Every structure is written in structure tokens, then in C-alpha cells.
Amino acid sequence: MNAVSAGDSDAATLVTVLGALETVILGKPEQIRLCLACLLARGHLLIEDVPGVGKTTLAHALAHVLGLAWQRVQFTSDLLPADIIGVSIFDRASQRFNFRQGPIFTQLLLADEVNRASPRTQSALLEAMEERQVSADGTTYPLPEPFFVVATQNPHEQLGTYALPESQLDRFLMRVTLGYPDVAHERELLRGGERRELLSRMAPALSAAAVLRVQRAVRAVHVADALLDYTQALIARTRERSDLKIGLSPRAGQGLLRAAQAWSYLAGRPAVLPEDVQAVLPAVVAHRLERRDPTGGGDGDALAREFIRAVPVPP
Amino acid sequence: MAAAPAPPADREALRPLAWACAAFAGGVLLNCDRVPAWTPATALLLIAWRLTTERSGARLPGTVARALLALAVVAVVLWRFHTLNGLAAGTALLMLMSTLKLLETRARRDQLVMVGAGLFLLLAACLDRQSLARLPLYALQAWLCCSALAVVASAGFGARAALQLAGRALLLALPLAVALFLFFPRLPGAFWAIPRGGEALTGLSDSMSPGSIVKLVADYDPAFRVQFAARAPPAEELYWRGPVLHDFDGHTWRRTSGVFHLRQRLQYLGTPYRYRVALEPTRQRWWFALDTPAQSPDTNVLLTYDNQLLGAEPLTEPISFDVLSYTHTRALEPLGAFGRQQDTALPPGANPRSVGLAQTLRQRAGSDADFVQAILDYLRTGGFVYTLTPEALGADAVDDFVFDTRAGFCGHYASAFVTLMRAAHVPARVVTGYLGGEWNPIGGYFVVRQSDAHAWAEVWLEGRGWTRIDPTAVVAPERLRRGVFDLLPDALATRARLLRGSAWLTGLLQRWDAANAWWSDHVVKFDYSAQLDLLGRFGIRSPDVRYLGWAFTLALLGWLAFIAWHIGRSARPAPPDALARAYARLCHKLARIGPPRAPHQGPLSFAATVTTHRPDLKDSVHALLARYAQLRYGPAAPASRAQDIEEFRRAVARLSLSRAVGGRQ
């Protein structure tokens, strides 16, 4: 009984979380919901857009509203793995090496402009993301729970950046693009002050413990065989396409289902519906699909919508 | 996103070209032994060069260079073959010209042309040779070309997927091919006949000089196969008549040309033998038959005065024919003066010692028959030896043989015997052909090989007519029993002995030969008349081409329908259950008041669509669709599920779409 009431209150809190986030990032309820679903599905999030549309603000707001400890690392080309993971320092007093934890030992790591770092540093981060632990000097240090990475990158900036390869993009559960606000919201933005200032006035709505609880509840959202059929048909469709370099990996399939569960949970449904899968599909698969011929057709987002239209929902 | 055309992408781009090249190279290799070696070598070198340039990104030659190259190729082919027509020249030209196409192969369309060239070369090979042994090669090439088509058409195909697709497509097409083969109206005669030139004649030739037959002895290829309708003659009667030679110049025996005699009337003695001969193409005019055929098997074939079957045209395709033969005959008419003169003529002054010997023995003998016996006795007792490696003979070859070397094979004995007969004015002639044959128990036929080539003699005996005498049989009776192989010198016989050494291998060879015979009889020789026979078996007796057309069209349509059904069946989803039926009914019902459910729409988004059209139905429609969503996607319901579905079905039936009070707006 207790658990149920806690669950119910969590669900109610999430509605307020969404509301709070929407006051910070104006006019993007869909994207905010996706970002939240991504974190609730224990996934890492990649926010990709041009500078100045509120990527960092959104990441910041997420951490703040969820009540998580967070760190921010601005990625640059001279950033070293040790700058993220930590470093062993010789302590004269004890005549021993002590591991000094890097910024990654936090609950939400905001990796700003992740494509500016060298591949070596990127891969150190991405390994930690996948394993949820860090190894240094032969010792393994588990990362805190929950642990999220919210990375941002600017897709249009090419000079001096290292594009994340497909294998590493695959580790992000979702890629979300914010885009410019519409006229009304832009006006509101211009009229209002700095959005981040709002955050300081906002109280965290959840806590780390509550986030873990919600994550467990998300995993319990029912997935029927009929839905698995539909999901598999979608995944198979991406592998049949000859104009794609690769289809969706099994890991992507798992992620798709988890994201759909989270989406369903946010909508207050006890079971995943095809609509939930369709809602998260573009964000989950767009960054994993690449056409062989980069000039042909639309981007991954358009592709994902094509898949949705092409695969019938079984009656 | 940084597009990185790194080496892997290059390799990816190279793939369709590589497949097209492979398909083309396959076609080249199929034909490589029919054209001079420089042609396939050039083609393969250019393919390799083209693939490397594609990798390194070097430039292809320009229009002018290509035009000059094409002209040069035509010139070279003209220079080497003196024609552009015919199989060899045509194949070489096709090969080289398509290779030049590689130089301008850039787009997908060009690659398709390359694959087409590979298929065309396959067709050329099929027209040229249709033996069973090459069938797997042809099938492989067809498979390769179809896979290449798949890869070229859609770069997404991996090697395995392309091979699978092409294999499946070919297998599906196979029954269609069989139907085409059986029912497609065939025109009598080979209208696609291609001039073939410069090919070596095989088998016996129309002359015999010392050593000519021994060349055949090491040739294990079948000359023809014979199937007897009833009992086969005993092994010592299996004399297969080929060219009969009358003219002798002291060294070489030849057929008489330009002489036409009427065939004498014969009385046939002993058992008649009915049999069917399946003859391999010899590029010669004579057809082989057992000893004395009673009549010609074909209107185009002449049964000559010396009992040869002589065709109108050289044999370029394998043929089968039925003959009736006797092994013993009696002449009913005397030998004409002209015939007697022809078959007693000897080169003047040649072989004086033999002439002397013959005349002496003839004077001692009472009759021609006794004289024949005396000569045979002379050969038997004179220390004559059968060998396939005799010493070289001088100008008076028969004298040298009879008095000095006394060692030789069938050709020597037949030649010497006929010379001795003619020296005593007994008409005699040399008959070349084959002796014996290997019984194939699997196919139930004799296979006569080139190595069974033999030469014997016929003498005219008064009261009996032309009588077969085999002087070799006197000297080496084992030649008749065992065939020539045991008498061969080692160097020639190794392969043959190896083949005959093991019973297992012999069995295998016989099976293979039987398969070849079947293939040749039923597939290669399947012509218009065979087609009519087949249709006759199905009760279609009219030789009307239209019937064939109808049968073919029906078979075609039937099979296409099957393929369509097969594809449709694999794409069809599982039959709907009760819930799906109820849902389909609901969707159908709701489609009356708004747009129908799009196939990709889930229940809730469909509910949203419907309610935008009929806000008044919002509650009932939403409740029903949510109920469906719960039944379909919700947690597995308890035992009451069937009941719940039934309730849902009823609720769907009850749903009223009529508007509430107020009616239409």
C-alpha cells in the first residue's frame, strides 16, 4: 500500500516536474518530456543543436528539478581522460597514491560540447557511461546511482571537432534537438529575463532516491506480446532497408522499449501502446541510422517517421 | 555530421563494379578454350586493371581513345580470324568489345551492361557445347550473373543475401524453364546454326596410312553408343563399319572419290540386329553402323555400294538413329567388271616380293577361299607380332612389313592382307571402323570409344560375295577378346589402365557415361519430333504449333500464379483472433464518420482522430478504444479474458454513431 502511494505521488510529482521545466524552456513540451523519459529510462541523453537555444539550460534544469547532484564539464580539445575520471595523486604524508575523483563522480554529468574533446577523452567518458563504473590504477570505482550523462553538441561546427562515431552514438539512448522557439515563445523569451535565474528560485521536485524509485516503476510498465511484435517489426524494417548503412542494434531495440515504457509511465498508462513507441522512436533511432548516400533523402528524423508510416500496427 | 569517405566507403562503392566484373569474367572463362589464349588474357587483364583504377581513382580513357581502341579490336580480330562471323571470331569479338565497355563503366547502367555481357557469353557457350559436364558451370555462371544483378541493382545487398536471392529466384524460375524447354514451339532444323571453322576432326578419317589408327588408340573419348533392341551380337561380331578404302598408292589407303556404283542385292543371313546408335559429332560425313546395314536410317543418308552410311552433311551435332544390320550376307549378283578392276588395282611395280609370294601361294591353292586360308596361315605361322609401336617402313611398305619387320597392328595387317589378295587378282578392300565396345550395365548399352578403332579386310569370294576377314585376329586373337588396352605400350596406356584398374572407378565411369548418354539423348537431342512424341503421350496428337503455344502459355500462367501465391503467402500475417476481428469491426464502423484508421495508427491516436470529427462521440469512442488497448496491450488478463473480449465485441456492436438530439448541424 505504501509503495503504491509512493508511486502515485511520484507520478504526480513528475507532472509538476514537467510543468516546472516548461517554465524554463519555453514552447518545447515535447522535447522536455522526451528528455525526462530518457532519464527515467536510465538512458543517457544527447542534446544536439546550434548554440543559444537552451541546451545547457535544459540540462541544468533537469538536474536541478530532479534534485540530483550535478557537475558540468566543458569539453575542449586538450581535455584529458583524467580531467573527467580523476587522477591518482601521491600523498607525501601517507606515502601512498590517493585517487582523487574527477567530475564524473556525480549523479548528472553535463558534458558540454562533447564533440570538441579528442576521441581518447570521448571514449573514456562513453565507457564510463556504459559500464557505470570507472577503473583507475587497477581499482574499480562504481559511479553514483542514479548516473546520467547529458551531453550537448553543436552539429554545425566542424572545425576542430571530432564527430562521435556510430558505436558511441549508440550509447546515447536519445538524441533530442531543440530548435528555435516559435514566435510567441520567442517574444516571451525576449521579454522575460535570463531563464537560468528562474532555476535558483525553483525548489527541487524530486530526489535521487525518488528518481531510482521511478526508474524501477518504469521498468515495471507492462509490455504485451502484441507490442513486442510491433517493435520487432519496426526494428526489422530498419535492417531491411538497403539504403541504410546499418539497421538498429539489439541494444537500440532494448533502449527503444525502455524509452517507450518511460513515455507510457509519464502518460500515466499501465502498459505500453504502439503510440508510446512511435512517440519516442525518432529520438531513439535518428542518431543511429545513417544513409549510405548522405545526399539522398532526409535525415534520421525523417527516416524514423518513414518507418512509423511503413509499419502497420497489428490489429 | 562529418561525412568521411574513408577506405571502407570506397570498398563499398567498389562492390557493384566488382560483382559486375566477376559476372563478366565468368562468361570469359566459360569460353576461354574456344578462342585463342590472348583473347581471355586481354579481357582478364583489363578487368584487373579496371578494378585497380577504381580503387586508386585514376582517370579512364577519353572518348577518342576508346573509339580508337574499339577500331583496333575489330582490326585485330579481322587480322587473326579473317572474319567477324562464326563462333570463334564472334565470341572473341564479343569478349573484347565488352571488355572495352569496362573502360566507360561508371554508372549502374554500365555495370548492368557488363552483367548482360556475362550472360551473353554464357549463351554463346551454351550454343557451342551442351555436355552434361558443363551444366554445373553454366548453372554457376547464371547464378553469379543473377547475384551480380541483385548487387548492382541495390547496393544494400551483401554477398550472401544476393546469392540467396538469386538462388531462390532461379529455383523459382526452374519449372518455368522446364516448361519452356518442353512446350516452347521448336522449329525443325537448327536455325541458330553457327558456322564453325578450324576445328579438328575427330575419330577416323577417310584415309589410312601406317600410324594413323594408333593415334586414336590413346583416345578414351566415346565415338558412339549403341543400344540393341533385343539380343546383342557376340563380341567377335561387333565390327562397326566406317570408311571403306579402295585406293592404294603403296603407302596410304584412300576412299575412292567420284565413283558411283549401284549397291548389289544381298541375301541377308543369320540374325537381324535392331539397334539405336547415338553418335557423337565427328565433323565427318559417315555414320557408323554394325557390319552390313540393311537400309538407310534417314533420307539424308546414303547406303553406299560398299555398305557405308554416308550423310549429306558433316555431323556437327550429336544424333541418334535406328538401324537394322546383319553380320552375314551373300551376294546375289556377280561383281561387276568395274568393281573388280577397282578392287584388284595395285600401284605398278610396288612391293614386288609380296606380289611374288601371293602369286605363288595362289597357284598352290585350289580356290580363292583356300588362298585366303593360306595367307592367314602364313600370317599365323610366319612369326608375326602384334605391336602398337612398330618400326618405320620403307618405300615398299608391304614388302618391308611382310618380309622384314613382321611387327605391326591392325592397319599393317589389313593393308598387307588386301595387297596380297589383290596381287593374286582376288578383289579385296580395307574397311576401317571400330571393333567391340564396352558394355555399360547401368545404361544397358555399348559404348564404343575412339580407342576401339580398327581396320580389317573384305574379300570377294565367288558364290559368297564380300566376306569379312580380320587378319589381325589371326595374329593377335586377344585383340578381339580384350580390346586394345592390354596391348598398349605403357606410356599410352597408363591413364586407361588406371581408369580400368579399379572396379569401383570403372563402375563410377560407367555411371557417368550412362548419365552423359541420358543427357545427350533426352536433353540435347530434344527436337521438334521428340517434342511431338512427348505431346503425343499426353494425348495431343496434332502437330499444330498453336497447341504448343497454348500449352506453353498455360504452363507459364500457372507457374506465375504459383509464384505470386507463394510470395503472397509468406507476406500474409497470421489470421486475426477474436479481439482483432472485433477491433477491425470497430475501426470499420468508425470509418463511416471520419477518415479510416491509417495502418500505422494505434488505438489512442485513432481515438483522437475520430473525436476531432465527432466531438460528441468522444466519451464512448475513447472508452471503447481504450478498452481495446487494455485488452491488447495491457497485462495478461486472468481467465476472464475470453469473456472480456466477448463483452468488447458486444460493446462494439452496440455503439451507436447517430448524433444526439439536434441531428446534423
Residues B500-533: b if buried by 16+ CB within 10 A, e if exposed: beeeeeeeebbeebbebbebbbeebbebeebbbe
Comparing A156 with B474, the larger pLDDT belongs to B474
Q: Return the C-alpha cell found at B21.
A: 566484373
> What is the predicted pLDDT for the residue at B119?
93
Task: Tell me: ipTM over 0.85.
Answer: no
CA distance A63 to A70: 6
Q: Using one digit for the tens of pLDDT, what is the confidence trace for A35-62?
A: 989 988 988 998 888 877 788 888 888 8
Q: Do A271 and B629 touch (CB under 8 A)?
A: yes
Long-range contacts, B643-652 (Cβ 8 Å, 24+): B645/B578, B645/B579, B645/B582, B646/B578, B648/B579, B648/B582, B648/B624, B649/B578, B649/B581, B649/B582, B649/B585, B651/B624, B651/B627, B652/B582, B652/B585, B652/B586, B652/B589, B652/B624
CATH topology of domain A222-315: Helicase, Ruva Protein; domain 3 (1.10.8)
- All structural domains of chain A with their residue ranges: 2-220, 222-315
CA distance B412 to B417: 8
| Averaged pLDDT, B419-431 | 91
Please provide the average confidence, as pLDDT, over all residues in chain A.
82
Which residue type does A197 have? E
Residue B664 in this model has a pLDDT that exceeds 60: no
Sign of CA dihedral A75, A79, A81, A84: negative
Instruction: Enumerate the residues of chain A whose CB falls inside 8 A of the CB of residue B161.
Output: none
> What is the predicted pLDDT for the residue at B191?
44
| Averaged pLDDT, B246-253 | 84
Comparing B549 with B601, the larger pLDDT belongs to B601
Strand positions, DSSP E, chain A: 44-48, 70-74, 86-91, 96-101, 108-112, 133-136, 139-142, 148-153, 172-176
Rank A66-75, B541-550, B639-648 by mean pLDDT and report only the highest: A66-75
Rank A16-30, A140-154, B139-153, B597-611 by mean pLDDT and report only the highest: B139-153
Radius of gyration from C-alpha coordinates of chain B: 39
Give residue B217's pLDDT band: very low, low, confident or very high (50, 70, 90).
low
> What is the predicted pLDDT for the residue at A238?
83
Contact criterion met (CB below 8 Å) for B115 and B28: no
A273 touches chain B (CB under 8 A): yes
Q: Using one digit for the tens of pLDDT, what is the confidence trace for B494-540?
A: 556 666 667 778 788 888 888 888 888 788 777 777 777 777 777 76
- All structural domains of chain B with their residue ranges: 7-175, 207-503, 528-571, 578-654
Contact criterion met (CB below 8 Å) for B84 and B57: no
Q: Do B600 and A292 touch (CB under 8 A)?
A: no
CA distance B113 to chain A (A): 22
Q: Label residue B416 left, alpha or beta by phi (over 0 means left) and psi (-120 to 50 means alpha).
A: alpha
Interface probe with B: pick from A115, A229, A242, most Cβ of B within 10 Å:
A242
Q: Which of A85-94, B211-220, B229-238, B532-541 has the lowest mean pLDDT?
A: B211-220
**Bridge partners, B240 (sequence order):** B290, B434
- Nearest Cα residue to A145 out of A108, A173, A172, A171: A108
Share of chain A above pLDDT 90, in %: 5
Q: Using one digit for the tens of pLDDT, what is the confidence trace for A243-271?
A: 777 778 888 899 999 999 999 998 888 88
Q: Do B583 and A315 touch (CB under 8 A)?
A: yes
> What is the predicted pLDDT for the residue at B495?
57
> What is the predicted pLDDT for the residue at B662?
44
Residue B211 in this model has a pLDDT that exceeds 80: no
The CA angle B320-B522-B544, to the nearest 5 degrees, is 90
> What is the predicted pLDDT for the residue at B139?
94
Give residue B7's pLDDT band: very low, low, confident or very high (50, 70, 90).
very low
- Only one residue has cell 559476372, namely B23
| DSSP 8-state class, residue A149 | E
> What is the predicted pLDDT for the residue at B5?
37
Q: Is the peptide bond before A146 cis (omega within 30 degrees of 0)?
A: yes
> What is the predicted pLDDT for the residue at B199?
46
Instruction: Enumerate the residues of chain A whose CB falls inside 8 A of the CB of residue B588.
Output: none
Number of residues written out for chain B: 665
Contact criterion met (CB below 8 Å) for B422 and B191: no
- Same fold for the domain at A2-220 and the one at A222-315? no
Comparing B15 with A315, the larger pLDDT belongs to B15
Count CB-CB contacts under 10 A for residue A137.
9
Which residue type does A288 have? R
Residue B6 in this model has a pLDDT that exceeds 90: no
B606 touches chain A (CB under 8 A): no
CATH topology of domain A2-220: Rossmann fold (3.40.50)
B573 touches chain A (CB under 8 A): yes
Q: Residue B427: helix, strand or coil by DSSP?
A: coil
Q: Which of B576, B598, B604 sits opposite A275 (nearest CB)?
A: B604
Q: Do B603 and A224 touch (CB under 8 A)?
A: no
Residues of B acting as catalytic residues: 410, 454, 470
> What is the predicted pLDDT for the residue at B4?
36
Q: Residue B254: helix, strand or coil by DSSP?
A: strand
Q: Using one digit for the tens of pLDDT, what is the confidence trace for B594-640?
A: 788 888 888 888 888 888 888 887 888 888 888 888 888 888 767 77
CA distance A157 to chain B (A): 9
Q: Return the C-alpha cell found at B310.
A: 554416308
Q: Residue B67: helix, strand or coil by DSSP?
A: helix
CA distance B411 to B432: 9
CA distance A28 to chain B (A): 21
A278 touches chain B (CB under 8 A): yes
Give residue B573's pLDDT band: very low, low, confident or very high (50, 70, 90).
low
Residue in A with minimal Cα distance to B157:
A242
